[in-house]
A and B are shown apart, each in its own frame.
Chain A
Amino acid sequence: QKEVEQNSGPLSVPEGAIASLNCTYSDRGSQSFFWYRQYSGKSPELIMFIYSNGDKEDGRFTAQLNKASQYVSLLIRDSQPSDSATYLCAVSASSGGGADGLTFGKGTHLIIQP
């Protein structure tokens, strides 16, 4: 049974600070890793994906992957109130991205305090 674990939160972070979201996964064969953002009542939208160990940066977002520890994280720098949402971690066993579907964590609810 593939499992993806996230702290449900809420995680409260002051505006302008760094928000750190964490995720662990059970399937050592997982190849691709994704972070989605989901606003209340909306569908998930992809923020970033990563498939190699190390860091990947895109604007204010940095994804970090450590396959040996089976750990993925998302850092949000200069947090804004508009970043308040639920963040979903997802993994795929496929090296070609999510072609076989994704296994999602239950999400971390992030609140950015003005």
Chain B
Amino acid sequence: DVKVTQSSRYLVKRTGEKVFLECVQDMDHENMFWYRQDPGLGLRLIYFSYDVKMKEKGDIPEGYSVSREKKERFSLILESASTNQTSMYLCATVRGSSYEQYFGPGTRLTVT
């Protein structure tokens, strides 16, 4: 059974703080993704990674960076959190050319 875990279900941070969101998968999947989900805007791709130390920008990378030092772990970094980054953040993985993308449980981040 594929397991994708995220470090926190709920997180409250202050404006200007540096925020780390962590995602860990246990299935040796090559590809990992970070999305955010907002009411009325749907799910939007922030960054993704094909492999260790590889990263690609998604549709809305501004204000975010990522790190992938190990295959199983993909971190999303908010260098200086802002209130417009309040959102549900979802991590996902997919194995190579498989069609199945598995999502983690999500982290609801509130920036005050």
Q: Name A residues whose Cβ lies closer than 8 Å to a Cβ of B.
A: 32, 34, 42-46, 49, 51, 88, 90, 96-107
Closest to B34 in A: A101
Contact of B105 among A43, A99, A102 (CB under 8 A): A43
A97 touches B105 (CB 8 A): no
Which residue, B48, B96, B101, has most C-beta atoms of chain A within 10 A?
Answer: B101
Q: Name B residues whose Cβ lies closer than 8 Å to a Cβ of A.
A: 31, 33, 35, 40-45, 48, 50, 56, 58-59, 90, 94, 96-106
Q: How far is the CB of A41 from chain B (nearest CB, A)?
A: 9
A97 touches B99 (CB 8 A): yes
B103 touches A104 (CB 8 A): no
Closest to B45 in A: A101
16 A-B pairs within 8 Å (CB atoms) are namely A34-B99, A43-B105, A44-B90, A49-B100, A90-B43, A97-B98, A97-B99, A97-B101, A98-B31, A98-B94, A98-B99, A100-B56, A101-B33, A104-B42, A104-B44, A107-B42
B59 touches A32 (CB 8 A): no
- Residues of B with C-beta under 8 A to A100: 48, 56
- Residues of A with C-beta under 8 A to B106: 43
Q: How far is the CB of B57 from chain A (nearest CB, A)?
A: 10
A45 touches B45 (CB 8 A): no
- Residues of B with C-beta under 8 A to A107: 42
